Structure 1
Amino acid sequence: MDKFFDAARPTRLPPLIPFSSYDDADAAVERLLEIYQRNTAFIREAFREYSAGSLPLGQRIRACYPAIRLRIHTYPDVDSRLSYGHLVEPGMYMTTVTRPALFHDYLREQVRLLLRNHHVPVEIGESDLPIPLHFAFPEDEYVEGEYSEVPGHTLRDHFDVPDLVVTDDAIVNGTWRGRPNQPRPLAPFTAPRIDYSLQRLQHYTATSPEHFQDFVLFTNYQFYVDEFVRWAQSTLASGESGYTELVEPGNYVTGQDGISPERSGRPPMPQMPSYHLKRPGHTGITLINIGVGPSNAKTITDHVAVLRSSAWLMLGHCAGLRTTQRLGDYVLAHGYVRQDHVLDDDLPLWVPVPPLAEVQVALEDAVAEVAGLSGWELKRIMRTGTVATIDNRNWELRDQQEPVQRLSQSRAIALDMESGTIAANGFRFRVPYGTLLCVSDKPLHGELKLPGMATDFYRTQVNQHLHIGIRALEHLRDMPSERLHSRKLRSFIETAFK
């Protein structure tokens, strides 16, 4: 970050807060809050001086992120069934922290596990990683542009600005290479990487990150959104479900007593609108309409991942590839042929994306429960198999010999444009994932997706499909976190934080 600053120029910093030891998780998180609030307020106050033209020419302003640090000196003897909450070998570990109020419960749980599993205190203090000016403001305040000018000097002359050098996915991609004597990562994302995604979530979904719930449904059809909103409003009105409110794009809130009085109109619809049926402890359900294609699927999961979701599921439509499938049948993906190309550099194609037993069982049980079927009758409408995900919506127009041969060799039973991407990013980010698709066309057998050909299907199946996804997430919510977050998602050298 210092590449923008001349060491000879004066720097104004708040008094350094040294690292102190804590053996209580609540006290540790409270200290993180204090450091973050003080340092962001320091930057905002200096920016007000800059805007008023009273900041001395040449003076730069800097305040840094708070951090959690842990030192262990022996190889720990921890329960081998645990997938997170512990470190595997001695060393110094550290992570920078942003928005500790938003991540309060998550941070408290991760620190509590470290204290329990390692029997040494954690250290809380101030890192040397600067907070960029643009990330120091609340969600409803923004700095417009990087080079907004006051006569004689610019933002970059006085403040740290976002820097891609320290904003990447090296930790989760397994490509992080530290310098000698540098602390090793304690968490999968650095503070600037999280701040970057929180800003993008607000932009793409038109809802505040604070409303996102831990259990996420992705879809690419407005039909599902409409039914979700209807069901959420009905569920809230009943007052019997534990859900407390529905938040729609623009942060418009519907509570158990109806629409909030401040709701006066809708903003322009964002690229990937999100809807949040909230429940205490973020245990509700978020639905995001991601639109069509693997690029959107990667974009939104890149950013939702920093919220450390408990699970996410893809509910979409697919092309059925077998003659025995009918329009409206379900496909439960247990493997993926990845031809989306958007993740090839981050997760090479030779990396398998395995099915997660806990998610598969939850989805199958939900289909049986909502459809009211079991045994052979259940198998008649749902098939488990490989889903091929591609990046060419009009693949049918190519010479059929090559794609059909590859689909046959892979044993694929369905084809879509998002599922493999969402599952691969779930694997990459250590977020439990699953896919349940609904057959909407059979292009290899003359049933193309054309206007009017699937009208009855849409009318009769969409509602059921959505409620299967909701019920599956409720099953997963009732599962202990340590069981849901399977060891399949973890490498042999991992960060301690989930």
Structure 2
Amino acid sequence: MRTKSEIIRDWLPRYTGTPLEAFGQYVLLTNFRNYLDIFSEISGGSVQGQDRAMQTITAENITMVNFTMGSANAATIMDLLGAVMPRAVLFLGKCGGLKNKTRVGDLVLPIAAIRGDGTSNDYMPPEVPALPAFNLQKAVSSTIRAQGFDYWTGTVYTTNRRVWEHDETFKAYMRQLRCMAVDMETATVLTVGFANRIPTGALLLVSDQPMTPDGVKTAESDRNVTARFVERHVRIGIEALREIRDGGYSVRHLRFEN
């Protein structure tokens, strides 16, 4: 296999256990298996690729992919999705709230992400901002409000570092950046989506408040977040993609030129 197209057309089914023709034109990305289970309960679809690195489920021309955690895996799935060139990709991730005003269970709709991940530098120069497709974020916004909820907006800091909650120097740096939230994937998903000409957005669920010792995520607190807020997160993602699908909207925010 000599070309990227040959590689990703072979690797997407290999990683997911899902044939190319079975993928929907609209994609939800997640880091968590229980998101797939909830999507299955809502849609009646079944999970594919139980023995593969990344599981999927497809219903109503929407495919959810669990690419697991981290910027390297985020870049991998955004490369592999180039084999099917979806019309829209929405990342449903969890994040740490960095502001005192955010609460666990809040939604964050990013307007941009800071590329502290490192991985995205392999795809675009560091000066290129990580931005979501505007019309995709607009559809998510209208879906949230139509369901009677609200959200925060702002910038997300994406890091490739998982254990930092003890590091006061790192936390001081993030305070200087004045970001709304921190995660490990958003900037990577947006940047690699942009590099591959795939319209991409993100909707994040605040799962913890890591700037204070009492707010650091634990097994118990994560179970509480899952029980109380994850189904809403999934339903909003589905409805946003349905709005785009049924309205026939283009969500590409730029004309890409070679």
Please indicate the TM-score interval, normalised by the length of the shorter structure: over 0.9
The counterpart of 1:288, out of the listed 65, 82, 99, is 65
- 1:214 and 2:25 are equivalent in the alignment: yes
Map of 1:490 onto structure 2: 256
How is 1:41-440 mapped onto 2 (pairs within 5 angstroms)?
162-163=1-2, 167=3, 193-233=4-44, 246=45, 248-250=47-49, 269-277=51-59, 279=60, 284-370=61-147, 372-373=148-149, 378=150, 382-398=151-167, 400-401=168-169, 403-440=170-207
Does structure 2 conserve the Cα–Cα contact (< 8 Å) formed by 1:207 and 1:248? no
Distance 2:66 2:222 in 1: 20
Distance 1:247 1:455 in 2: 23
Task: Letter of the 2:15 partner, please give it.
Answer: Y
Q: Which runs of 5+ in 1 are unaligned?
A: 1-161, 168-192, 234-245, 251-267
Deviation at 1:211, TM superposition (A): 0.4
Q: 1:489 to 1:418 in 2, by over 3 A?
A: farther
Task: Letter of the 2:90 partner, please give it.
Answer: L
* Matched position secondary structure for 1:436: strand
Q: Displaced runs of 4+ in structure 1, greater than 3 A?
A: none
Distance 1:448 1:409 in 2: 20
Does structure 1 conserve the Cα–Cα contact (< 8 Å) formed by 2:131 and 2:191? no
Task: Letter of the 2:6 partner, please give it.
Answer: D
Does structure 1 conserve the Cα–Cα contact (< 8 Å) formed by 2:20 and 2:83? no
Distance 1:489 1:224 in 2: 33
- 1:449 and 2:225 are equivalent in the alignment: no
Task: Letter of the 1:417 partner, please give it.
Answer: M
Distance 1:248 1:350 in 2: 39
Task: Letter of the 1:386 partner, please give it.
Answer: T
Give the TM-score normalised by structure 2: 0.94
Map of 1:101 onto structure 2: none
* Matched position secondary structure for 1:472: helix
Deviation at 1:221, TM superposition (A): 1.1
Deviation at 1:433, TM superposition (A): 1.0
Q: Deviations over 1:150-201 (max 9, x none)?
A: xxxxxxxxxxxx23xxx2xxxxxxxxxxxxxxxxxxxxxxxxx222111111
Does structure 1 conserve the Cα–Cα contact (< 8 Å) formed by 2:30 and 2:92? yes
Pair member with larger Rg: 1
Q: 1:247 to 1:452 in 2, by over 3 A?
A: closer
The structure that is helix-richer by fraction is 2
The two structures, once aligned, show a CA RMSD in angstroms of: 1.6
Does structure 2 conserve the Cα–Cα contact (< 8 Å) formed by 1:431 and 1:489? no
Distance 1:327 1:247 in 2: 30
Deviation at 1:322, TM superposition (A): 0.6
* Matched position secondary structure for 1:478: helix
Q: Identity across aligned pairs (percent)?
A: 32
Q: Deviations over 1:375-414 (max 9, x none)?
A: xxx2xxx10010111111102233x22x223322322110
* Matched position secondary structure for 1:396: coil
Task: Letter of the 1:490 partner, please give it.
Answer: F
* Matched position secondary structure for 1:248: coil
Distance 1:479 1:394 in 2: 42
Distance 1:248 1:356 in 2: 28
Does structure 1 conserve the Cα–Cα contact (< 8 Å) formed by 2:24 and 2:62? yes
Task: Letter of the 2:251 partner, please give it.
Answer: L
Deviation at 1:479, TM superposition (A): 3.7
Task: Letter of the 2:234 partner, please give it.
Answer: L
Distance 1:435 1:201 in 2: 21
Q: Which runs of 5+ in 2 are unaligned?
A: none
Distance 2:131 2:12 in 1: 27
Kindly tell me the number of residue pairs found equivalent between the two proteins. 257
